[in-house]
């Protein structure tokens, strides 16, 4: 108890230094939290993928299309119990800055493959019955202040021409890691226009989303699907949704690695700042520690006194940084919502911050604490600081 009282008193003896140290640790822990959240957000599509979904695309590249005639053949494969097709539209809403994911999909058969997208029965019916119907995620609707019944014009880039869609549904995610910033509309509405103006681009799908009964047969079913179109003009490559998402993430491996390295550098900076603070503190109080030794306090007591002060500073700063990570994540999400639609600080990160802070605090105190514990009484009393 006496040790704890001394530690708490020592933490704020030099208030300016302590506050600056805590502020430095808090900012560093905030950066550490945001960086870890950034890495997690990059993998959110992988984590949200379902083992019951396969993706069939063109074997050469995703940019090459597949005939719509493939749909019925894939549906006949044993183990397949659902299918939908889609294409990336990539249109412009009012301004190029208003980027968001836009998919022309086959209809409710596609949306039903995603039970994590929650829609009301009336919204499902409206999307199925209106050819120019569209569905938007809740965050996307909030971003542009859209409401049911609003007309949403899109200027084509990949597909020439403009289209006007009517918002008939706003979905919400069944889980926290579900992307609520996507936009879906009916492919047949787009295809109808393409048949009239650009027939070469009509009747083609960018990919097929396939639902399977047994995830354990995913590899087997994938091979069966690809075998159907072997040696055709448009051969296919089928893989699990998770593998499909990992393919996109793999394109940015260097960025992810750089972010992870930076997060380690942040921890190293905290260690250096805190170690410097504790070294200065130990030098200034050398005489005090020598007096404690003359009163009978042993090296272990002095070691714990210095380590406790360092750990307290680190923990206060770390917890402050963890608290600041929530508004920090909100600011980042507002800036990066078109790229990273899900940007939430996870519990694992919040739990890691105190552990990292405590470890850094103890490591920073190690050298000065050992030096003081081995310092002779005469040496400590001679020190002037």
Q: Where are the domains of the chain?
A: 2-44+252-382, 60-234
Tell me how far apart the alpha carbons of residues 238 and 73 are, in angstroms, rounded to a whole number.
14
pLDDT of residue 221: 95
Beta bridge partners of 92: 155
Tokens of 345: 């600080």
Most confident stretch, 35-39, 151-155, 312-316, 380-384: 151-155
CA neighbours closer than 13 Å in the CB half-sphere of residue 63: 1
- For the stretch 326-364, pLDDT in tens is 888 777 766 666 566 666 778 888 888 888 888 888 888
Could you tell me the sign of the dihedral formed by the alpha carbons of 248, 253, 255, 260, in that order?
A: positive
Band of residue 259 on the pLDDT scale cut at 50, 70, 90:
confident
Whether the per-residue pLDDT at 284 is higher than 60: the answer is: yes
CB 235 within 8 A of CB 107: no
pLDDT of residue 251: 63
pLDDT of residue 246: 78
**What's the length of the chain?**
385
Largest CA distance in the chain: 97
CB 105 within 8 A of CB 164: no
Q: What is the CA radius of gyration of the chain?
A: 30
Q: What DSSP designation does 52 have? A: T
Across 153-157, 161-165, 224-228, 378-382, least confident range: 378-382
pLDDT of residue 380: 65
pLDDT of residue 58: 93
The mean pLDDT of 38-59, rounded to a whole number, is: 80
pLDDT of residue 229: 93
- For the stretch 288-307, pLDDT in tens is 777 877 877 777 888 888 88
Strands 183-186 and 102-105, bridge-based pairing:
parallel
CA neighbours closer than 13 Å in the CB half-sphere of residue 114: 27
Angle between helix axes 347-374 and 15-42 (nearest 10 degrees) is: 140
Band of residue 239 on the pLDDT scale cut at 50, 70, 90:
very high
pLDDT of residue 170: 96
Band of residue 46 on the pLDDT scale cut at 50, 70, 90:
low
Q: What are phi and psi of 36, to 5 degrees?
A: -65, -40
Tell me how far apart the alpha carbons of residues 366 and 310 are, in angstroms, rounded to a whole number.
9
pLDDT of residue 297: 77
Of residues 319 and 41, the one with the higher pLDDT is: 319
Angle made by CA atoms 20, 22, 24, in degrees to the nearest 5: 70
Tell me how far apart the alpha carbons of residues 113 and 130 are, in angstroms, rounded to a whole number.
20
pLDDT of residue 223: 95
Q: Is the entire prediction scored with pTM above 0.85?
A: no
């Amino acid at each position: 108890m006496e040790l704890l009282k001394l530690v708490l008193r020592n933490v704020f003896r030099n208030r300016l230094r302590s506050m600056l140290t805590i502020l430095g640790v808090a900012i560093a822990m905030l950066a550490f939290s945001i960086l870890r959240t950034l890495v997690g957000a990059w993998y959110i599509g992988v984590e949200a993928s379902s083992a019951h979904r396969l993706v069939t695309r063109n074997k050469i590249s995703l940019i090459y299309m597949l005939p719509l005639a493939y749909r019925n053949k894939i549906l006949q494969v044993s183990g397949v119990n659902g299918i939908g097709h889609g294409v990336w539209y990539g249109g412009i809403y009012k301004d190029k800055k208003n980027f968001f994911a836009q998919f022309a999909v086959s209809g409710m058969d596609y949306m039903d493959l995603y039970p994590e997208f929650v829609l009301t029965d009336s919204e499902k019916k409206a999307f199925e019955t209106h050819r120019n119907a569209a569905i938007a995620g809740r965050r996307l609707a909030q971003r542009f202040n859209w409401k049911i019944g609003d007309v949403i014009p899109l200027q084509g880039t990949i597909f020439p021409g403009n289209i006007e869609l009517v918002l008939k549904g706003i979905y919400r995610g069944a889980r926290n890691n579900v992307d609520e910033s996507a936009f879906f509309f009916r492919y047949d509405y787009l295809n109808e226009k393409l048949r009239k103006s650009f027939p070469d681009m009509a009747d083609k799908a960018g990919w097929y989303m396939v639902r399977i009964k047994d995830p354990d047969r995913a590899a087997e079913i994938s091979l069966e699907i690809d075998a159907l179109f072997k040696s055709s003009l448009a051969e296919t490559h089928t893989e699990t949704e998770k593998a499909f998402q990992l393919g996109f993430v793999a394109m940015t491996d260097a960025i992810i690695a750089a972010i992870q390295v930076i997060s380690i550098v942040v921890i190293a900076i905290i260690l250096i700042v805190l170690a410097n603070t504790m070294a200065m503190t130990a030098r200034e109080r050398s005489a005090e520690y020598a007096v404690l030794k003359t009163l009978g306090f042993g090296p272990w007591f002095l070691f714990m006194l210095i380590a406790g002060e360092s750990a307290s500073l680190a923990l206060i700063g770390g917890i402050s940084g963890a608290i600041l990570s929530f508004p920090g994540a909100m600011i980042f999400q507002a800036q990066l919502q078109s790229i990273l639609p899900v940007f939430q600080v996870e519990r694992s990160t919040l739990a890691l911050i105190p552990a990292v802070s405590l470890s850094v605090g103890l490591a920073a105190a190690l050298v000065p604490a050992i030096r003081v514990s081995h310092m002779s009484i005469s040496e400590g009393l001679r020190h002037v600081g």
